[in-house]
């Protein structure tokens, strides 16, 4: 009864507040603090995004795997966050959250198109990105990306001298050589570089084809290429619309077997290994240019990937751990390496760096500086949430507290409560066993929804393959 009453109150408030289809990212966040001062710490900043790399498939977070030996070695000299949560489960809203330090419902770009006019979404002019603050503090900005969800047109490219986004779903094969050439010509400048690749993504195939490094025994009919992967992704989404009994996008066993899922996972691991090798080569270039010791490194993934753990593949519609538990590694010259178990959000990454540099930031950021944790001091309790309004097929919010995680589906009234310590695979829904805990956690989610300037849009799916 309490849960139903709480939901009714929140829904009434949402609709009375004008919870009509989202007109696009026009609402402005809270105003900035005073203008940033120029930092006297002359360190470059390199933000590397391994798109779609989930934590559990890396050697860094799963020592039984040999997928990322170079990342693991690099992290031995850095601060590793063992429980980093992505603010969303797909590229655009999650990466823009890293850029702004704001949850997607605050920065407003929750989908590629606005509703209902179908125009390209873009960050509101009055919303400042954290790289823009670095620009004001004397940094040169350069980005080399794989386009798609990190295209400059969504608001990423503001004040960048160079922003490469000319190859959709481009990998490090494309972005890294361009970044290296730029570094050779600009190594004496104080720079912020965003380096991004879709190497691990389902819409990227390795340049030399798959070697099936981890899939030698597969005897099925699937090939695992991006065209095939895209068809399965759209089929799963279609099932949600066509099947009146279904609450989530899904694939049937007859369409995509357990063996097929293991095959896709093995190809994914192969792509992660290839991305790791490319990262190692880039590090050697940084060394050769004399940049390593005067650069702050932030290594992150925007989201993870599912391989039928919850009945689907790809990413975006759900907020399970395979989707939102991601790598986060920060290396600041002179700072002692360590591993931190405290749960954090990836939108904390750049606020941490700016705080260390002494650069003032907007007062309303959702992201927090993690410097206290990195320096061995306690941090105040904070709420870590994640959200998705993926292509209007799915509207979910998740709240993680202690060992527990609550997922609320705003579109179908479903609630899921998991004990992540006892059930890390999220297979046993405790919603009926612990209703009081769920009720208290849901109040935090509802407050989060109410506090955000951009309310969840209402829709049954875009019906357009906008990815």
pLDDT of res. 230: 97
CA dist., res. 374 & res. 341, Å (int)? 11
Burial label for 319, CB within 10 Å (0-12, 13-18, 19+), is buried
Question: Confidence class of residue 248 from pLDDT cuts 50, 70 and 90?
Answer: confident
Considering the chain, what is the average pLDDT of its residues?
90
Q: Which of 164-178, 238-252, 256-270 has the lowest mean pLDDT?
A: 238-252
CA dist., res. 306 & res. 320, Å (int)? 9
Instruction: For 137-162, write each residue's pLDDT tens digit.
Output: 999 999 999 999 999 999 999 999 99
Mean pLDDT along residues 390-419: 95
pLDDT of res. 244: 59
Burial label for 152, CB within 10 Å (0-12, 13-18, 19+), is middle
Q: DSSP letters along 395-462, please?
A: -EEEEEETTEEEEEETTT--EEEEETTT-TT-----TTT-HHHHHHHHHHHHHHHHH-SSPPP--S--
Question: 242 in helix, strand or coil?
Answer: helix
pLDDT of res. 245: 56
How long a stretch of residues is the chain?
Answer: 467
**pTM to 2 decimal places:** 0.91
- The HSE-up count of residue 353 (CA atoms within 13 Å, CB side) is 29
Are β-strands 338-340 and 79-81 bridged in parallel, bridged antiparallel, or unpaired?
parallel
Q: Residue 75, Cα to own-chain centre: how many angstroms?
A: 20
pLDDT of res. 146: 97
Helix (H) or strand (E) holding 329: strand 328-331
Mean pLDDT along residues 107-127: 89
The 10 Å Cβ neighbour count of residue 428 is: 12
- The HSE-up count of residue 58 (CA atoms within 13 Å, CB side) is 31
CA dist., res. 447 & res. 134, Å (int)? 32
Q: Residue 403 in contact with residue 343, Cβ under 8 Å?
A: no
Higher confidence at residue 398 or residue 378? 398
Instruction: For 188-222, write each residue's pLDDT tens digit.
Output: 999 999 999 999 999 999 999 999 999 999 999 99
CA dihedral 410, 415, 420, 425 (to 10 degrees): -90
Question: Confidence class of residue 456 from pLDDT cuts 50, 70 and 90?
Answer: confident
Instruction: For 407-426, write each residue's pLDDT tens digit.
Output: 999 988 899 999 999 999 99
The answer, yes or no, to whether residue 15 has pLDDT greater than 80, is no
Question: 441 in helix, strand or coil?
Answer: helix
Backbone angles phi, psi at 236, to 5 degrees: -60, -40
pLDDT of res. 220: 97
Mean pLDDT along residues 242-265: 88
Mean pLDDT along residues 306-331: 97
Distances (CA, A) of 281 to 43, 292, 379: 21, 13, 36
Q: Residue 429 in contact with residue 326, Cβ under 8 Å?
A: no
Domain(s) of CATH 3.40.720.10: residues in the chain? 35-378
Q: Residue 135 in contact with residue 159, Cβ under 8 Å?
A: yes
Cβ-count burial 153-167 (b if 16+ within 10 Å, e if not): ebbbbbebebbbbee
CA dist., res. 319 & res. 396, Å (int)? 7
pLDDT of res. 247: 73
Instruction: For 332-381, write each residue's pLDDT tens digit.
Output: 999 999 999 999 999 999 999 999 999 999 988 999 999 999 999 988 87
Q: Which of 172-181, 442-451, 457-466 has the lowest mean pLDDT?
A: 457-466
pLDDT of res. 459: 54
Helix (H) or strand (E) holding 415: strand 415-419
Q: Residue 87, Cα to own-chain centre: how many angstroms?
A: 6
Mean pLDDT along residues 299-323: 97
pLDDT of res. 458: 57
Instruction: For 46-75, write each residue's pLDDT tens digit.
Output: 999 999 999 999 999 999 999 999 999 999
Helix (H) or strand (E) holding 283: helix 258-288
pLDDT of res. 40: 63
pLDDT of res. 114: 83
Are β-strands 328-331 and 191-197 bridged in parallel, bridged antiparallel, or unpaired?
unpaired
CA dist., res. 23 & res. 116, Å (int)? 7
CA dist., res. 30 & res. 363, Å (int)? 7
The answer, yes or no, to whether residue 11 has pLDDT greater than 60, is no
- Hey, what are 90's tokens? 């797909």
Domain(s) of CATH 3.30.1120.10: residues in the chain? 395-458
Q: What CATH number labels 35-378?
A: 3.40.720.10
Question: 85 in helix, strand or coil?
Answer: strand
Mean pLDDT along residues 267-281: 98
Question: Confidence class of residue 117 from pLDDT cuts 50, 70 and 90?
Answer: confident
pLDDT of res. 381: 79
pLDDT of res. 460: 54
The answer, yes or no, to whether residue 33 has pLDDT greater than 90, is no
The residue to which tokens 């490194």 are assigned: 297
The answer, yes or no, to whether residue 103 has pLDDT greater than 70, is yes
Higher confidence at residue 293 or residue 18? 293
Q: What CATH number labels 395-458?
A: 3.30.1120.10
Q: Which of 302-316, 435-449, 450-464 has the lowest mean pLDDT?
A: 450-464
Mean pLDDT along residues 253-268: 97
Are β-strands 79-81 and 344-345 bridged in parallel, bridged antiparallel, or unpaired?
unpaired
Q: Residue 97 in contact with residue 441, Cβ under 8 Å?
A: no
- Hey, what are 130's tokens? 């954290």
pLDDT of res. 379: 87
């Amino acid at each position: 009864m309490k849960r139903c009453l709480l939901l009714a109150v929140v829904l009434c408030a949402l609709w009375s507040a004008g919870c009509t289809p989202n007109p696009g990212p026009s609402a402005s966040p809270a105003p900035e603090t005073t203008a940033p001062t120029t930092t006297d710490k002359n360190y470059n900043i390199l933000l590397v995004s391994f798109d779609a790399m989930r934590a559990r498939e890396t050697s860094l977070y799963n020592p039984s795997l040999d997928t990322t030996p170079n990342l693991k070695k690099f992290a031995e000299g850095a601060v590793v966050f063992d429980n980093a949560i992505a603010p969303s489960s797909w590229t655009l809203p999650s990466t823009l959250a890293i850029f702004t330090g704001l949850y997607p419902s605050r920065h407003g770009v929750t989908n590629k198109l606005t509703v209902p006019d179908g125009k390209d979404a873009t960050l509101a002019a009055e919303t400042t990105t954290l790289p823009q603050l670095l620009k004001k503090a004397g940094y040169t900005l350069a980005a080399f990306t794989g386009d798609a969800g990190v295209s400059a047109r969504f608001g990423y490219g503001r004040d960048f001298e160079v922003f490469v986004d000319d190859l959709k779903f481009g990998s490090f094969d494309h972005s890294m050589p361009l970044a290296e050439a730029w570094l050779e010509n600009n190594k004496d400048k104080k720079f912020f570089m965003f380096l991004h690749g879709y190497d691990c993504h389902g819409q990227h195939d390795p340049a030399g084809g798959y070697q099936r490094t981890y899939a030698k025994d597969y005897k099925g009919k699937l090939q695992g290429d991006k065209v095939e992967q895209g068809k399965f992704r759209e089929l799963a989404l279609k099932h949600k619309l066509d099947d009146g009994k279904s609450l989530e996008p899904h694939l049937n066993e007859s369409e995509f077997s357990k063996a097929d899922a293991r095959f896709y996972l093995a190809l994914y691991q192969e792509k992660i290994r290839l991305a790791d090798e490319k990262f190692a080569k880039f590090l050697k270039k940084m060394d050769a240019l004399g940049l390593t010791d005067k650069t702050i490194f932030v290594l992150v993934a925007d989201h993870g990937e599912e391989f039928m753990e919850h009945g689907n593949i790809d990413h975006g519609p759900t907020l399970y751990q395979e989707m939102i538990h991601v790598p986060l590694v920060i290396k600041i010259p002179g700072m002692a390496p360590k591993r931190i178990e405290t749960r954090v959000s990836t939108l904390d990454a750049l606020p941490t760096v700016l705080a260390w540099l002494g650069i003032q930031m907007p007062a309303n950021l959702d992201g927090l500086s993690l410097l206290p944790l990195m320096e061995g001091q306690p941090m105040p309790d904070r709420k870590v949430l994640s959200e998705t309004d993926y292509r209007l097929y799915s509207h979910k919010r998740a709240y993680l507290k202690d060992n527990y995680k609550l997922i609320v589906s705003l579109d179908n009234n479903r609630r899921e409560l998991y004990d992540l310590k006892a059930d890390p695979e999220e297979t046993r829904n405790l919603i009926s066993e612990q209703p009081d805990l769920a009720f208290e956690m849901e109040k935090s989610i509802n407050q989060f929804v109410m506090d955000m300037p951009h309310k969840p849009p209402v829709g049954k799916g875009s019906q357009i393959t906008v990815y």
